[in-house]
């Protein structure tokens, strides 16, 4: 495993309406390192800036100031096309409202990142089926999103996020639109991906209970990180080597 963190942020700030009377600063001086294989949660009340932070991590938005390196590459100098490519290859998005494309079936939805990566149709379908199998949706691949339940949709969305084998999975309130039981199922899936596939997962949530399940909990309030706590080795998941790796990184 690499020594450099997957996500490395230094004094990142984000302002809107710069230079106008209603100038608004959302993020203040964020410094953040997330290592490969970590399962991190970012917690904060609504309006705390966690979504803005997620957009910046996901390269959908650029910081006003500060530096952000993804997998060791500084993102400041990248143009839109390069950002799109990195989003495509390095980041898997899971949204609260699933954001599956309506009227096209599960396989085609999962194929989407592969399509933009330029993979040929046949290989795309193969890979998509594999992923749907992984998330337990192997029997529903021809279903349209409208024919799937919330939990099923979210599992398809997770399969889609995994498509290009990204460095990080960015999950924005993935259980927010689900009931407790299906939410649980989705969380179990994240744990499975973390444990079995060794995925780096960043979970954005407003629920402290869900955050408790992760290795590390970062709390944001009013645009500042107010706490960054390692979870005490837990009941849910025995320690893996990723923990020692993280400790090494923390020691820097």
Is 81 a residue that touches other proteins (CB under 8 A)? yes
- Calculate Rg over the CA atoms of the chain: 18
- Residue 69 or 112: the one with the smaller Cβ distance to other proteins is 112
- Residue 35 or 152: the one with the smaller Cβ distance to other proteins is 152
Cα–Cα nearest to 49, from 63, 35, 38, 36:
63
CA–CA separation, 246 and 33 (whole Å): 10
Q: Exactly one of 89, 184, 195, 224 binds other proteins (CB under 8 A); which one?
A: 89
Stretch that binds other proteins, among 22-30, 83-91, 191-199, 225-233 (CB under 8 A): 83-91
CA–CA separation, 54 and 86 (whole Å): 15
- Residue 44 or 145: the one with the smaller Cβ distance to other proteins is 145
| Enclosing H/E stretch for 42 | strand 39-44
CA distances to 27, 116, 123, 236 from 188, in Å: 31, 29, 28, 10
Cα–Cα nearest to 168, from 90, 53, 100:
90
- Residue 94 or 249: the one with the smaller Cβ distance to other proteins is 94
At closest approach, how far in Å is the CB of 224 from other proteins? Answer: 21
Binding flags for other proteins, 121-150, as an x/- string (CB under 8 A)? x-----------------------------
Is 88 a residue that touches other proteins (CB under 8 A)? yes
Going by C-beta distance under 8 Å and a sequence separation of 6 or more, which residues neighbour residue 165?
none
At closest approach, how far in Å is the CB of 156 from other proteins? Answer: 12
At closest approach, how far in Å is the CB of 121 from other proteins? Answer: 8
At closest approach, how far in Å is the CB of 109 from other proteins? Answer: 9
Burial class (CB in 10 A: 0-12, 13-18, 19+), 35: buried
In this structure, the number of other CB atoms found within 10 A of the CB of residue 36 comes to 21
Whether the CB-CB separation of 153 and 145 falls below 8 Å is answered with yes
Stretch that binds other proteins, among 24-32, 88-96, 147-155, 179-187 (CB under 8 A): 88-96
Q: Which of the residues 50 through 79 are near other proteins (CB under 8 A)?
A: 55, 58, 60-61
Q: Exactly one of 13, 95, 125, 228 binds other proteins (CB under 8 A); which one?
A: 95
Which residues make up the interface to other proteins (CB under 8 A)?
55, 58, 60-61, 80-81, 84-85, 87-89, 93, 95, 99-104, 112-113, 115-118, 121, 160, 164
């Amino acid at each position: 495993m690499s020594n450099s963190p997957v996500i490395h942020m230094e004094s990142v700030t984000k302002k809107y309406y710069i230079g106008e009377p209603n100038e608004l600063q959302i993020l203040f001086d964020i410094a953040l390192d997330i290592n490969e294989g970590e399962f991190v949660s970012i917690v904060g009340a609504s309006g705390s800036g966690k979504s803005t932070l997620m957009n910046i991590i996901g390269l959908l938005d650029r910081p006003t100031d500060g530096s952000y390196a993804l997998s060791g590459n500084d993102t400041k100098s990248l143009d839109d096309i390069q950002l799109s490519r990195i989003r495509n290859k390095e980041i898997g998005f899971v949204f609260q409202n699933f954001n599956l494309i309506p009227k096209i079936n599960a396989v085609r939805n999962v194929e989407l990142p592969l399509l933009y990566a330029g993979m040929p149709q046949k290989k795309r379908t193969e890979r998509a089926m594999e992923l749907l199998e992984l998330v337990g949706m192997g029997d529903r691949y021809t279903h349209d999103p409208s024919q799937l339940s919330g939990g099923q949709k979210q599992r398809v969305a997770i399969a889609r996020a995994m498509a290009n084998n990204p460095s990080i999975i960015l999950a924005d309130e993935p259980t927010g639109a689900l009931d407790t039981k299906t939410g649980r199922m989705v969380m179990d899936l994240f744990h499975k991906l973390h444990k079995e596939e060794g995925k780096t997962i960043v979970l954005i949530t407003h629920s402290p209970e869900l955050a408790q399940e992760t290795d590390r909990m970062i709390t944001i309030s009013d645009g500042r990180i107010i706490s960054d706590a390692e979870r005490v080795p837990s009941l849910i998941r025995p320690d893996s080597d990723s923990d020692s790796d993280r400790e090494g990184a923390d020691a820097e």
